[in-house]
A and B are shown apart, each in its own frame.
Chain A
Amino acid sequence: MSEKASLEMEVKDLDLWYDTKQALKKVNMPVYKNKITAIIGPSGCGKSTLLRCMNRMNDIIDKCRIEGEIRLDDKDVYQKNYDVVELRKRVGMVFQKPNPFPKSIYENIAYAPRIHGVKKKKKLDGIVQQCLKDAFIWGEVHDRMESSAMGLSGGQQQRLCIARALSIEPDVILMDEPCSALDPIATAKIEDLMRVLVKDYTVVIVTHNMQQAARVSDYTAYMYLGELIEFGETEQIFENPQEELTEKYITGRFG
């Protein structure tokens, strides 16, 4: 990676408590534009918590307290009066288990643009088609747009969810273990898709699969017990990590 990447988001001195338990400790991390950033670390290290902070999904959790900043366009998304709906429009999310709406394939994609004010059928049709194409699933579903999305395979459902995330043209897509419920072929498709999407979007992915992080991401963050231990270019993290904890984790010498 020779070209200098520019910042899309920036996590600054972020602390997070679930009640009395501190889950994130002074996390500082850049998220570069049009790059894939992978967050790795053992279970319970706070990686999903950090990801969810990026579009304020933790707001709905009781007794969750946050200090510090997450900057998007040089504005702290946690500042008072920040429009959370607008934030989630700009920072979309794809979850571990595919979660399509129990509606038709078409409606899954058209839903968000419609509530954001797109009314014309022709325009909606265009958005739906484009998103499905961008998520590499158009060819598999174009002749059954009115069928229930629940009838799709796991891999197809996950790509549909990615297409749904694209429908409101976000800047950032957060993915929380998007492939852990998928077989290797469906996983490969999602990974290919990520590499294509990153040309137009910024992607942050949480994964337990280190080979996946090594394959798809440009930058990797290693977290342990709520702290960001090491952040760097993926090649460096997996080939020559600077921190002993990172080395131990990725070589399986942990504990």
Chain B
Amino acid sequence: MERMVEDFHNELEKLKKRVVRMGNLAQDMLKKSVKALKEKDTDLAKEILNCKNEIANMDEKIEQDALKLLTLFQPMAKDMREMATVLKMITYLARIGRYGKDIANITLELADKPHVKELVSIPYMAKEVDSMINDALTAFENEDVETIDGFTAREKNVDELRYSIFRECLTYMMEDSKTIKRCARYIMVARYLERCGDHAVKMAEKVFYMVTGEHIDLDPPGPTPDCEL
């Protein structure tokens, strides 16, 4: 019996390491997609599209193995919280990876036209979101909730960035209707990045639950930022 329990804890550790690897891939896809968009690098964009299956497979395999462990060992207390966190994390990470793929697709759609202007706000927003994803993953890996301190403020900041990109795009579209197609895509990219920030917050909440056993709301409802010009 002791052997079995030891096996379970070894398997759980391995599973958590796989989640971190999946997280690194998702992070990479998102980061590279914004780089590809900024630099109009279609080769890089295609490379990201190729990762699509890999991340989907990881999601599926980790889920299957987690369910197998749940069934065989019926874990309790912290073990149970870790399993629950693994199962939620992979969903958030798969979505982040998919947003990377979506941005790569936009890069290909916009490949034949120059940018409306040099992209500054989107890469800046992507950097902010990436650091949140990174911190959520680090907190998960090290079981350290201090890393996610300040997530509420960072999430608000990312929301503000999204609306500021939206407002900026509106001015270009009003000035010149030929920019509408491109600007509409930029607005979508900003929306995707903001969703990735939300996923980072959700991951942080789950990590907090995993470590402490307490539920926490890092994104309490507040006033919606002003979208008017």
Asked if A20 is at the interface of the complex by the 8 Å CB criterion, the answer is: no
Q: A255–B6 Cα gap in the complex (Å)?
A: 12
Q: Do A239 and B80 have beta carbons less than 8 Å apart?
A: yes
Q: A148–B212 Cα gap in the complex (Å)?
A: 55
Asked if B118 is at the interface of the complex by the 8 Å CB criterion, the answer is: no
Q: Do A251 and B78 have beta carbons less than 8 Å apart?
A: yes
Residues in B whose Cβ lies below 8 Å from that of A214: 76
Asked if A8 is at the interface of the complex by the 8 Å CB criterion, the answer is: no
Q: Do B2 and A247 have beta carbons less than 8 Å apart?
A: no
Closest B-chain residue to A255, C-beta based?
B2
Q: Interface residue count for A (Cβ, 8 Å)?
A: 14
Asked if B9 is at the interface of the complex by the 8 Å CB criterion, the answer is: yes
Residues in B whose Cβ lies below 8 Å from that of A246: 77
**Helix, strand, loop or mixed for chain B's interface?**
helix
Interface residues in A205-233 by Cβ distance below 8 A to B read 210-211, 214
Q: Do B79 and A251 have beta carbons less than 8 Å apart?
A: yes
1/0 per residue B81-111: CB within 8 Å of A?
1000000000000000000000000000000
1/0 per residue A231-253: CB within 8 Å of B?
00000001111000011001111
In the complex with contacts A253-B9, A255-B2, A239-B74 CB distance below 8 A: no
Q: Do B2 and A251 have beta carbons less than 8 Å apart?
A: no
Q: A251–B213 Cα gap in the complex (Å)?
A: 14
Interface residues in A99-158 by Cβ distance below 8 A to B read none
Interface residues in B1-54 by Cβ distance below 8 A to A read 1-2, 5, 8-9
Q: Do B77 and A251 have beta carbons less than 8 Å apart?
A: yes
Asked if B175 is at the interface of the complex by the 8 Å CB criterion, the answer is: no
Asked if B146 is at the interface of the complex by the 8 Å CB criterion, the answer is: no
**Helix, strand, loop or mixed for chain A's interface?**
helix
Closest A-chain residue to B214, C-beta based?
A240
Residues in A whose Cβ lies below 8 Å from that of B9: 253
In the complex with contacts A251-B75, A251-B78, A240-B213 CB distance below 8 A: yes
Q: How far is the CB of A209 from chain B (nearest CB, A)?
A: 10
Q: Do B80 and A238 have beta carbons less than 8 Å apart?
A: yes
Q: A246–B76 Cα gap in the complex (Å)?
A: 11
In the complex with contacts A252-B8, A253-B9, A238-B2 CB distance below 8 A: no
Q: A214–B77 Cα gap in the complex (Å)?
A: 11
Residues in B whose Cβ lies below 8 Å from that of A255: 2
Q: Do B2 and A250 have beta carbons less than 8 Å apart?
A: no
Q: A209–B141 Cα gap in the complex (Å)?
A: 32
Q: A240–B82 Cα gap in the complex (Å)?
A: 12
Q: Do A250 and B76 have beta carbons less than 8 Å apart?
A: yes
Q: Do A210 and B76 have beta carbons less than 8 Å apart?
A: yes
Q: A91–B212 Cα gap in the complex (Å)?
A: 39
Q: How far is the CB of B53 from chain A (nearest CB, A)?
A: 36
Closest A-chain residue to B6, C-beta based?
A252
Q: Do B74 and A238 have beta carbons less than 8 Å apart?
A: no
B interface list, Cβ under 8 A from A: 1-2, 5, 8-9, 74-81, 212-214
Q: A252-B1, A253-B5 are in contact. List 4 more A-B contacts (CB 8 A).
A: A238-B80, A239-B80, A240-B212, A247-B77
